[in-house]
Amino acid sequence: MKPVAFDHVAPVDLAAALDLLAERGTRAAPLAGGQSLVPLLNLRRVRPDVVVDLNHVVGLAGVRVTAGEVRIGAMTRLRVLESHPDVVAALPVLATAASAVAHPHVRTRATLGGSLCHANPAAELPAAAVALDARLVLRHRGGARVVPAAEFFTGPHTTVLAPGELLTEVVVPRVPELRFGFAELARPGGSGYPLVVALLGVAVEGGVVVAARAAAGGVAPTPVRLPGVEAALPGRRCTADDLSAGLATAPVDHAAGHRDAVLRSLLRRITAGLE
Amino acid sequence: MTTRVHIGLPVPPRNHPALLRGRGRFVDDLPFPGARHVAVLRSPVAHGRVTAFDATAARADPRCLLVLGPADVAELTDPIPLAWLLPDQRLDHVELAVDVVRYAGQPIGLVVATDRAAAEDVAELVDVRVEPLPAVASTAAALAPGAPRLHAEAEGNVVGRTHFGTPRDRLDEAFAEAHLVVEREFGIQRVSHSPLEPRGLVAEWEPGPGLLTVHASTQSPHAVRQELAAVLRLRADRVRVVARDVGGSFGGKVALHADEALVCLAAVVLGGQVKWVEDRVENLTAAYQGRGQRTRARLAVAADGRFLALHADVVGDLGAFAVQAGSGPLQVTALTIEGPYRFPAAGGTVTAVCTNLVPVGAYRGYGMQESTFIRERLVDEAARELGVDPVALRLRNMVEPGDMPYTTCTGLVYDSGDYSAALRSAARRVAPPSSAGPVRRGSAVTATVEMSGFAPSALIRQFDIAWAGWEGVRLVVNHDGTVTVHAGVTAVGQGIETSLAQIAADGLGVPLRWVDVRLGDTATAPHSDLASQASRALVLAGGALLRAAARLRARVLGLAARALDVPEADVVLDVPADVEPGSPEAVFRGASGVISWRELAHRAWRGWHRPEGVERIRLEENVDFDPPAITFAHGAHGAAVAVDVDTGVVTVEDYWTVHDNGVLVNPLVAEGQVVGGVAQGIGLALFEEVRHDPDTAEPLSTTFREYPLPAARDVPRVDVRHLCTPSPANPGGFKGLGEGGAIPPAATIACAVAAAVPEIAEVLTATPMTPERVWAALREAGIEGSPQWTER
C-alpha cells in the first residue's frame, strides 16, 4: 500500500513550521517520529496535501530541568527520555513509562509529542502526562496556550489541538514528595500495544500515606485520573498489604470488567514496589 | 548401501548467509525495472451483486495502462478447476469473472499503472457499484434456517459432507454402552499464514513466441503453471513458473489465487512485464486463510480406562467458496482423529459450509492440529473425570510397536515408531510446576501422530484427488565434475536445499560443496504437483535422490573401471574431504593407476568408456519415487504454563518436544522446523485470530496491530529431542517434520492451563485463549482473583 501523493516540507525553524501549519490548516500533517503517521499515510487513512516534517526544526528536542519542573521538547525521542540522567533523577516514572513503549527500534524514532498527539487511550505517555499533571504548550502562528494534560485528550485519537496548532513542549512539575510506580499489561504477541497502563504515586510521612496520585490508560476513551483510588489511600500505612487493602475499598471510576480487573492487578503490583 | 558422512550432521543451511546479508531474491527484489504495477480492485462488502463497473475516469488518467473488469475477465479466462472435492460437492471451480461477490476483499478486477502508488490512485477512480446482499459471518449463521443462500450449488450453504471410519450407527451403539462419555464442543479459529514475504509475482508475456514466464512467491510452481495454463487458455509448454527465494508459505502458497491469475492475464493483454506484490492488508484480508471449524466430539471410556469409541462431528468453514485445499484439512481432521491410541470404534464426520468470509485452504498442520486439539483435550478431560493420571490413561491406550503396521478405524496404516516411548520421554522431562500469589502454574503432555510423505499415487487416486503424489529428481554429474540436483520440491525457508545436498553427497560419495541444488523453476525442475507441502519434500525427494545417486554412482564406477581397464569391484573412489571437484587428488584408483573424478566426468560426457551397445551417455539420472505408503511420524509435547488469575494472561514458561522423524538428515534444519512450528502453535493457542464483524462479515484484523504474531517474549526456550525409528516406506528411512512442531502446541498448552486451573478445564475447548476469554472463564467459575484484593 502506498500513500496518496503529498508535498514534503522540512522547515528548520519553528516560525516557518507554524506558518505552514497556519496556511494549510487541516490539509497539513506534522511529522514527528513517524511511528503512527507513516503507517496511516500508507494505509491512505490520512491524506494530507503537505507533510510538515519537524525533524529538522531547531529547538524542539531536549530536556531542561529546573528546581520546580522538567521541560521536555516535543521532538525528544523516547530513547532519550528513558535514558536521560536528568529525567531519570527528577522524574524516574516518566523514564520508566517511556521505556515501556513498543520496542527499542520504535523508541529510537518515536517522540514524546508524537505519542501525546496520537492520543491512543491505552498508551503509556498520555497516562503518564495525566498522572504527573503535565502542562502542554501548544503554539500557533502568533501565539501559544498552555493546556493541562487532563484537558488535552478528548477521546480515542482526538485532542484539543486546533488546525494550525503544534505541541512544542511538555512541562512536567517536579513532585519529589510523591513516589511513583508504573505498570502495564501489553497485549500478548508482537504488536506490543498496551491493553492497560497504570501509574500510582504516594506521599508518605512517618510511614503513613498523606497523599496519592493515580492514573490509568486503557480503561476509558482517554487516559484518566482515578479519584477513587486517590481518596482511598491516604491514612494507610505504606506497606504492600495495607495499600492493597486500601485499593480494595476504592470505588471503580470507570466500566467494570476485564480491563478493570487488569487495572486493579497492576495497581496492586505497583504497591508492592512502593513499600 | 549409502555411507552416511553428511546425513545426520547439523550442517548450517546454505542459503542463510545470503538471506542474513540482505541478498535474498524475493519477488520484490527481482530486477525488473521496466515492470508495470498492479493494484487489485476488491469487493468492499462481504456479499453483493456487482451492478456497475465503470472505468472511464480511470482510463483518462495518463498513468493508467490497463483496467480489467468482470466482463474482460469473463471473455479472456476460464475458471480455476479444483483438484479435490467432497463426494457430493458441486462447487468444482474458482470463479475469476465475478458478478456476485462473496467476501470482502474478493478480487473483481485490476488496474495496471506506471507504479504502485499510481495504480492505487487510479484504482480509486474505477466506479464499482455493488448492491449489498445479506452476509453470513459464521457456519452457525450459514446453517441457520432462512440463512441467505450463497451458491446455487450449495443447498443450505452445505458444500459437501463425508464420513470416515466406523459407521455412525455403530459409533452410537459404542457410546450407549460406555462407562464414561466425555462430550465437548470445540472451536478452532481462523488464522492467517502471515508469511514474512507476502504473495507476489512478476509476469512477463513475450508476444512473439507466445511465452508466459511468471516469477512467483509460491511453494508449488508446477501446480501454478498448470492452473495458469488452464485459466489463460495457454498450452502447457508456453507457461513457465519460477520461484526463487520464498519467504515462508505455511500452506498459503500451494495454489493459484484468483488475483494472481488476473495479474498474469494483465501481462498477456499488455505484453511485457507486470508486477504485483501483495501488501500486508491484502494478505490479512484477501489471501486464503487457515483452520476455522466448530466440532462436537465425544470420547467413550470403559471403567478400567480403555478407550471404547471416539467421534468428531466436524463443521468446517470453507469461506466464500471452495478452493484447492478447501475441505482437505477438514477431511484430514476426521481421518486423523484417533492419533496414537487404539480404538475399537472411531470416526469423523465432515460438513463443509460456505460463509461470506475469506476462503480457507491449507495451513501448516492441515487438519491434524485440529484433530490433536480435539482428541487430547477429550483425553485429558476423561482423565480428570475418572480421577486418573492423564499420562497413565494415554499409555494405557497407546498403539505399541508390536501392533505395527496398525490400521486405524479410518483406514490409515501406521508404519513404525514407539509412541509410548515418546510420551514417557516428554513426561519425564516436564518439571513439576509451583504456584505463587495470583499466578497458578500447571503442566501437561500430549501425544500425536503426523501423516507425512503424502502420498502413493494409488491412494491419491482412491481419494479421487487430481494430483500427482510422487516426486522426481534429476541428479547430474556435470562435465567439470560438479554435481547438480534438480528436484520438484521447493525451498520455502525450511532448509530443504541443504538436506538434499547432504543426501546427494553421501549417495555419490563426494564432498558436500560439490553439490548444488536447483529448485523452483518449472523449466528445469521435475514435475511436482504437491512440491513442498504435507511434510513430504524430504521424504519423497530424498527417497528419489538416494536411488538416483546409487544408480549414478554405479554408472560412474563402471566408467572408471573401463577407463582404468580393471574389474569394477577393484575400483575405489578416493576423495579427500576438502578438495574441489577438479582436484587431481579426487581420483578413482585401480591396480593399473588412477583417473581423476573430473577427467572421468569429462570423458563420460564425450561418450567414452561406455560399454559396447549402451546408448546412454548423459551423466544424469532421472528417478521418480512413488512411495509404497504414507509414513507416519509421531511425537509428544510438554508445556508448563503460568495463568495469572487476576488478568487471565497465560504465559508459556517451558516447552519440551520429542519427535520420531525417522532418520534425521540435518538436525539443525529439524530443530528449526520444530521450534518455528511451536512458535506458530503458541500464537494459535493464545492470541492469533482472524476476526470479522459478526453482522457484516467484513474484516476486523487488517494489520498486525489487530493480528499479533508471536514475539520473542511469547516463546520460551524449546527443548527439542528426537527418537529414531527409520521409516520402512522409503529408501532413506525418512519421516516428515514440516508440520510436527505446529500440531500439538494448542492442545498441550490448553491441557497445561487446565492442570493449572482445573476449575475452568471443562470450558478450555476453544482457541485462542486470550486474556479476556480466560479471565471470563475464571470469573464464571467463581475464581475472583487475588485473595489480597478481595479479603480485606
| DSSP-assigned letter for residue B697 | -
Average pLDDT across chain B, whole number: 96
Strand order in the sheet with B272-277: B64-68, B107-113, B36-42, B272-277, B200-206, B211-216, B239-242
Residue located via cell numbers 547439523: B10
Distance CA B41, CA B113 (A): 13
Nearest by CB: B649 against A43, A185, A241: A185
Q: Which residues of A touch B117 (CB under 8 A)?
A: 2-5
How many pairs of residues across A and B have Cβ atoms under 8 Å apart? 88
CB contact burial B635-654 (16+ within 10 A = b; e otherwise): bbbbbbbbbbbbbbbbbbbb
Asked if residues B645 and B757 have their Cβ atoms less than 8 Å apart, the reply is yes
Of A2, A187, A258, Cβ closest to residue B708:
A187
pLDDT of residue B790: 39
Q: Which residue in the set B687, B788, B792 is minimally distant from A189, CB to CB?
A: B687
* Local structure of B787: helix, strand or coil: helix
How many Å apart are CA B324 and CA B312, to the nearest integer? 23
Q: Which of residues 5-64 of A touch B (CB under 8 A)?
A: 5, 39, 43-44
The sign of the dihedral angle between the CA atoms of B220, B223, B226, B228 is negative
Residue B705 contacts A where some CB pair is shorter than 8 Å: yes
Give, as one character, the DSSP assignment of residue B189: E
Q: Which residues of B touch A268 (CB under 8 A)?
A: 646, 786, 788-789
* B529: nearest Cα among B215, B85, B226: B226
Give tens-digit pLDDT for B226-247: 999 999 999 999 999 999 999 9
Using an 8 Å CB-CB cutoff, list chain B residues near A191: 704-705, 708
Beta-carbon count within 10 A of A151 CB: 13
Structure confidence by residue, pLDDT tens digits, B7-16: 999 999 999 9
Query: DSSP class of residue B409?
Result: T
CB contact under 8 A, A258 and B772: yes
Nearest CA in chain B to A184: B647
Dihedrals phi, psi of B196, to nearest 5 degrees: -55, -45
- The pLDDT tens digits of the residues spanning B407-424 come to 999 999 999 999 999 999
B783 touches chain A (CB under 8 A): no
3-class secondary structure, B760 = helix
Of B116, B772, B790, the CB nearest to A2: B116
Distance between CA atoms of residues A188 and A195, nearest Å: 9
**Cell 520496542 belongs to residue:** A103
The pLDDT mean for chain A works out to 96
Q: How confident is the model at residue B2 (pLDDT cuts 50, 70, 90)?
A: confident
Give phi and psi for B395, each to the nearest 5. Answer: -60, -35
**B784 has a pLDDT exceeding 90:** no
* Cβ of residue B278 closer than 8 Å to a chain A Cβ: no
pLDDT band per the 50, 70, 90 thresholds, residue A177: very high
Name the residue facing A244 among B120, B711, B788 (closest C-beta).
B788
Least Cα distance to B398 among B351, B458, B338 occurs for: B338
Determine the Cα–Cα distance for residues B468 and B466; give it in Å rounded to an integer: 7
Rounded-to-integer distance, Cα B660 and Cα A38, Å = 47
Residue B683 touches chain A, beta carbons under 8 Å: yes
Mean pLDDT of B291-307: 97
Q: Is residue A53 scored above 70 in pLDDT?
A: yes
Residue-range domains of chain B with CATH = 16-22+470-625 (3.30.365.10), 32-133+196-249+253-285 (3.90.1170.50), 367-455+629-783 (3.30.365.10)
SS (H, E, C) chain A: CCCCCCEEECCCCHHHHHHHHHHHHHHEEEECCCCCHHHHHHCCCCCCCEEEEHHHCCCCCCEEECCCEEEEECCCEHHHHHHCHHHHHHCHHHHHHHHCCCCHHHHHHCEHHHHHHHCCCCCHHHHHHHHCCCEEEEEECCEEEEEEHHHHEEECCEECCCCCCEEEEEEEECCCCEEEEEEEEECCCCCCCEEEEEEEEEEEECCEEEEEEEEEECCCCCCEECHHHHHHCCCCECCHHHHHHHHHHCCCCCCCCHHHHHHHHHHHHHHHHHC
3-state secondary structure B16-38: HHHHHCCCCCCHHHCCCCCCEEE
- Reported as a single tens digit per residue, the pLDDT across B519-543 is 999 999 999 999 999 999 999 999 9
pLDDT digits (tens, 9 = 90+) for A185-227: 999 888 789 999 999 999 999 999 999 999 999 999 999 999 9
The C-alpha of A152 sits at a distance from chain B's nearest C-alpha, in angstroms, of 25
**Nearest residue in B to A248, CA atom:** B789
Chain A hits for B281, Cβ within 8 Å: 1, 43
Which A positions 179-218 lie with beta carbon below 8 A of chain B?
Answer: 185, 187-193, 195
pLDDT of residue B529: 95
Q: Which residue of A has its CA nearest to B40?
A: A1
- Chain A hits for B705, CB-CB cut-off 8 Å, are 191, 193
Least confident among A251-265, B295-309, B401-415, B712-726: A251-265
Side-chain half-sphere CA neighbours of A266 within 13 A: 28
**Which among B544, B545, B528 is positioned nearest to B469, based on CA atoms?**
B528
Per residue, the 3-state secondary structure of B256-284, as one string, reads CCHHHHHHHHHHHHHCEEEEEECCHHHHH
- Unique residue bearing C-alpha cell 467494570: A256
Task: Report residue B473 as a C-alpha cell.
Answer: 529428481
Question: Residue B791 has what pLDDT?
Answer: 33
The predicted model gives B434-454 an average pLDDT of 92
CB B7 within 8 A of CB B503: yes
Q: In sequence order, what are the residues at sequence separation of 6 or more whose Cβ sits closer than 8 angstroms to the Cβ of residue A78?
A: A98, A99, A101, A106, A107, A110, A111, A112, A115, A125
pLDDT value of residue B1:
56
DSSP for B627-693 reads -SS-EEEEEEEEEEEEEETTT--EEEEEEEEEEE-BS-S-HHHHHHHHHHHHHHHHHHHHT----B-
**How many other C-beta atoms can be found within 10 angstroms of the C-beta atom of residue B105?**
24
- Reported as a single tens digit per residue, the pLDDT across B591-620 is 989 999 999 999 999 999 999 999 999 999
Give, for B73, the enclosing helix (H) or strand (E): helix B70-76
B351 pLDDT above the threshold of 90: yes
* pLDDT confidence tier of residue B781, bands split at 50, 70 and 90: very high
pLDDT at B787 over 90: no
The answer to whether the bond into A126 is cis (omega within 30° of 0) is no
Nearest-CB residue to A268 (from B121, B687, B786): B786
Instruction: Answer yes or no: are the C-beta atoms of B747 and B372 closer than 8 Å.
Output: yes
Instruction: Give the list of residues 6+ apart from residue B679 with CB closer than 8 angstroms, or none.
Output: B710, B714, B715
Q: CB distance from B105 to chain A under 8 Å?
A: no
Q: Which three cell numbers mark B485?
A: 540436483
pTM of the model: 0.97
ipTM: 0.95
Q: Judging by DSSP bridges, how do beta strands B345-354 and B406-407 pair with one another?
A: unpaired
Residues 6+ apart with CB under 8 A from A74: A32, A54, A60, A61, A111, A112, A113, A114, A116, A166, A167, A168, A169, A170
A43/B646 CB distance under 8 A: no
- Determine, for residues B714 and A39 on separate chains, whether the beta-carbon distance falls below 8 Å: no
For an interface test with A, the pick among B275, B786, B790 (most A C-beta atoms closer than 10 Å) comes out as B786
Positive/negative CA dihedral, B386, B389, B390, B392: negative
What's the rounded Cα separation, in Å, for the pair B221 and B522?
6
The residues, any chain, with a CB within 8 Å of residue B501's CB and separated by 6 or more, are B6, B14, B485, B512, B515, B516, B517
Q: Please write the tens of the pLDDT for every residue from B734-750.
A: 999 999 999 999 999 99
Is the Cα torsion angle B663, B667, B673, B674 positive or negative in sign?
positive
Looking at chain A, the whole-number percentage of residues with pLDDT higher than 90 is 90
C-alpha–C-alpha distance, residues B620 and B518, integer Å: 14
The reply to whether residue B789 touches residue A258, judged by beta carbons under 8 angstroms, is no
Whether B464 has a pLDDT exceeding 90, the answer reads no
